[in-house]
Amino acid sequence: MKLREFAKQLGLSPTTVSRALSGYPEVSEATRARVASEAKRLGYRPDINAVRLKTGRAGAIGVMMARSGEIHFAEFVSGMAQCLETADTDILITPITAHNDDDEIQAYRRLVESRRVDAVIIHSPRPKDPRIEVLNSLGLPFLVHGRSETEHVHAWLDIDNENAVRRATEHLLDLGHRRIAMINGLRGKTYSIHREQGFRIAHQERGLVADPHLMVCDKFSDESGFRHARSFLESTNAPTAIVAGSTMTALGVYRAVRSLGMTVGQDVSVIAHDDVFPYLTAENMVPSLSSTRSSMRAAGTRCAELTLQLIAGRAADDIHELWPVELILRESTAAPR
């Protein structure tokens, strides 16, 4: 089916249909959704080679994946795929050394030189992130999943990490806990800094000071959660509650508590940030896990949508989205014994 025939069936102009499929911001969300739905129903696909020849676009969005990989990344890319499956846009995944900015920056330079992508999405920024400066100088459209305090213009989507941990900590304080530990994400990342701020502010508002000996930064994993929780709980004057940076971290905390003959929700309260993994849900843990909820998959979908808009010409300084985080209380938190 030709573009003109497809547009006629929809009662729209070929230009509107083309722009809707390309994610142009001047086309309404309702029209874009309708065109995408009908394209899928009728099996319409534009001639990719013709589109690329006409627009000069590669038809791909790039993302970098540390060679170690992680389930958070898999969920994010799954969300991107949900958006891009009807947009005739591919995802180009480039392997890099974990947490190595130089390696990642060189990868961006290669992508620009090879013209294999139209834009990239970067993750876990730092307050002064060199990647943002370099991408601006290269002229490659990009979206930041997170935020940075750099002076360089950048489009971003982030969750309210400070308020998420603040509310979680306030809940534990309201229950009567005063020795609260925190297993945070990687040190130096903006999200980790914001989460620590939320943790400290919750204490300060009650005239308390968060104990620095009960605060650690590490990657989100079952292993790190087990190791740090075990160390905390075996120490003198152990915490009665733990704030975990992710559901995977909380899984390790649960193991540590049980390995010491204690019970989650009775001897130790646990609350975590829940990224809504389909294969590890907070409500199915035993006991069910109190959590702050924000879907990594939904973030991937929205980041892909916004990146398509950047490619279509929307200004980077017009894309700043801060998502609120929901607090869900379950069985893993209770008043201290």
CATH of the domain at 313: 3.40.50.2300
The answer to whether residues 173 and 261 belong to one domain is yes
Residue 92, domain extent: 60-159+297-323
In this prediction, residue 41 carries a pLDDT of 86
Confirm whether 201 is domain-assigned: yes
In this prediction, residue 145 carries a pLDDT of 97
Confirm whether 11 is domain-assigned: yes
Residue 263 buriedness (CB in 10 A; 0-12 / 13-18 / 19+): exposed
Burial string for 171-210 (b: 16+ CB within 10 Å, else e) reads: bbbeeebeebbbbbbbeebbbbbbbbebbbbbbeeeeeeb
Is it the case that residue 227 has pLDDT exceeding 70?
A: yes
Rounded distance, CA 314 to CA 321, Å? Answer: 14
Residue 102 buriedness (CB in 10 A; 0-12 / 13-18 / 19+): exposed
Rounded distance, CA 55 to CA 19, Å? Answer: 12
Confirm whether 140 is domain-assigned: yes
Confirm whether 333 is domain-assigned: no
The answer to whether residues 13 and 47 belong to one domain is yes
Q: How confident is the model at residue 310 (pLDDT cuts 50, 70, 90)?
A: very high
pTM (predicted TM-score): 0.84
| Proportion of the chain above pLDDT 90, given as a percent | 73
129-188 per-position pLDDT tens digit: 999 999 999 999 999 999 999 999 999 999 999 999 999 999 999 999 999 999 999 999
The answer to whether residues 254 and 272 belong to one domain is yes
The answer to whether residues 166 and 285 belong to one domain is yes
Rounded distance, CA 144 to CA 331, Å? Answer: 35
Rounded distance, CA 224 to CA 252, Å? Answer: 7
Count of Cβ atoms closer than 10 Å to residue 296 Cβ:
23
The answer to whether residues 110 and 210 belong to one domain is no
Which residues touch 137 (CB under 8 Å, ≥6 apart)? none
Domains: count for the chain: 3
Confirm whether 77 is domain-assigned: yes
The answer to whether residues 167 and 214 belong to one domain is yes
The answer to whether residues 200 and 303 belong to one domain is no
The answer to whether residues 253 and 209 belong to one domain is yes
Is it the case that residue 302 has pLDDT exceeding 80?
A: yes
Question: Are 157 and 307 within 8 A, CB to CB?
Answer: no
The answer to whether residues 140 and 200 belong to one domain is no
Rounded distance, CA 168 to CA 21, Å? Answer: 41
* Average confidence (pLDDT) over 201-226: 96
Q: How confident is the model at residue 329 (pLDDT cuts 50, 70, 90)?
A: very high
Confirm whether 330 is domain-assigned: no
The answer to whether residues 178 and 148 belong to one domain is no
Is it the case that residue 245 has pLDDT exceeding 80?
A: yes
CATH number for 47? 1.10.260.40
Question: Are 176 and 333 within 8 A, CB to CB?
Answer: no
Domain boundary among the residues 21, 37, 55 is at 55
The answer to whether residues 238 and 248 belong to one domain is yes
Which 8-state DSSP code applies to residue 288?
Answer: P
Is it the case that residue 74 has pLDDT exceeding 70?
A: yes
Confirm whether 244 is domain-assigned: yes
Confirm whether 306 is domain-assigned: yes
The answer to whether residues 186 and 302 belong to one domain is no
| Proportion of the chain above pLDDT 70, given as a percent | 95
Residue 279 buriedness (CB in 10 A; 0-12 / 13-18 / 19+): exposed
